[in-house]
Amino acid sequence: MKQYNYFKQEPNAPKPLEKSIFHTVRFHEMDVMKIVWHGNYVAMCEDARMALGDAFGMGYADFFNHGVLLPVRQMHLDYLAPLTYGHTYEIKARLFYTEAVRLNVDFTILDEQQKVMARGYSVQLLVDKQTQQVLFERPEFYEKICQAWKQGKLQPK
């Protein structure tokens, strides 16, 4: 499978963190054309993004417990082929290291033969829960995670 990178790899950055989940299309996810409704792709990507964050100790609850919210600033999807009822797809999320105070995640949805069905990305900002101000420095817990990541010591739970 050819990787499509929406994000430029920063110099000396560690390789992206990666997590895959699998999803079998259910009847209620389909539209009148008998394919998955386009909005449901976003939910599948969100599930993969949450699994990725949870696997490395930086899920929504981790940030929230440290007083940080993660609003989505950008979301983009390229729909390449339709997802259909009863088939199981792999949704791969990759978090790219950045010195900026944000999360850059790309997504790839693959069929059983590893054909790319859709791909896209999201950008999330880190916002102070109390003041709703965008953060310009990483929270201490996240900084420790980023340092372990750069040192090659970050392992999934």
User: For residue 138, what is the domain's CATH number?
Assistant: 3.10.129.10
pTM: 0.93
Q: Is 141 helix (H, G, I), strand (E, B) or coil?
A: helix
Q: Which amino acid is at 14?
A: P
**Which strand ranges, in their side-by-side order, compose the sheet holding 116-125?**
17-24, 88-96, 102-110, 116-125, 72-79
Full residue range of the structural domain in which residue 79 is found: 17-150
Residue 83: closest CA among 49, 33, 18: 33
Overall domain count for the chain: 1
In-domain check, residue 7: no
Residues belonging to the chain:
157
Contact 109, 82 (CB under 8 A): no
Query: Per-residue pLDDT for the chain (157 aa), expressed as one digit of tens each?
Result: 566 779 988 888 999 999 999 999 999 999 999 999 999 999 999 999 999 999 999 999 999 999 999 999 999 999 999 999 999 999 999 999 999 999 999 999 999 999 999 999 999 999 999 988 999 999 999 999 999 999 999 999 8
